[in-house]
Amino acid sequence: MRPKRHEKFHGRVEGAGQRCGVPGCREPGEFRAPLTPGNFDGPGEYRMLCLDHVRQHNSAYNYFSGMSPEEIEEAQSPIPRREDHGSGKRFSFADAGDPGPRWADFEDPLDAIAARFKTGASMREASQRSRFSAAEQEALHVLGLGMDADLHGVRKAYAALVRKYHPDRNGGDRRHEARLTAVIQAFQRLKKSPVFA
């Protein structure tokens, strides 16, 4: 089965009703071609071309036309850059503190990108762990909390565990006294933590 005409060529404008914009061409103009290539800022002005002439137009297009070698290098860089319009300073993601892996160390660019995200995640985990001392980390474990806990979460977990293990809530059963003591000590340690100061 033959594909429908509008499915075969992406970008075709069905029913444009114009002739090709190239003088002397009698084919229908079904494809938009910008008159002024450059930075994309909306559709802008365009002319309608036939398939053969839009192919010629596209093959002659050079994105880097008129750019200096430095501008071409910046446009091809895998590290995006943007202007800070308030202060006029340039911001680069390369200046953001974490240099990440070197591209030259990888044959496949996707491996380099994966290593970049893996490095960022492990650094975040390490920074969260380093927020708490070893004793505080153990106290968080006793309360069943992770390294991203805040004081509100600590209080909430403490209250739930006290209700669960207190003998008054268990009909006088004292089998959970050791666990209750550990929960109370963990809370006492964490509420004094400099992290929550």
Average pLDDT value for the chain: 76
- What band does 185 get if pLDDT is binned at 50, 70 and 90? very high
Domains and CATH numbers, the chain: 5-60 (no CATH), 80-131 (no CATH), 132-196 (1.10.287.110)
Q: Do the Cβ atoms of 28 and 12 come closer than 8 Å?
A: no
pLDDT for 94: 47
87 or 9: which leads in pLDDT? 9
79 or 8: which leads in pLDDT? 79
d(C-alpha 182, C-alpha 21), whole Å: 83
- What band does 160 get if pLDDT is binned at 50, 70 and 90? very high
d(C-alpha 76, C-alpha 176), whole Å: 64
Q: What is the dihedral of CA 122, 128, 132, 138, to 10 degrees?
A: -70
Name the residue among 15, 67, 14, 11 with its Cα closest to residue 37. 67
Is pLDDT above 50 for 54? yes
Tell me the pTM.
Answer: 0.38
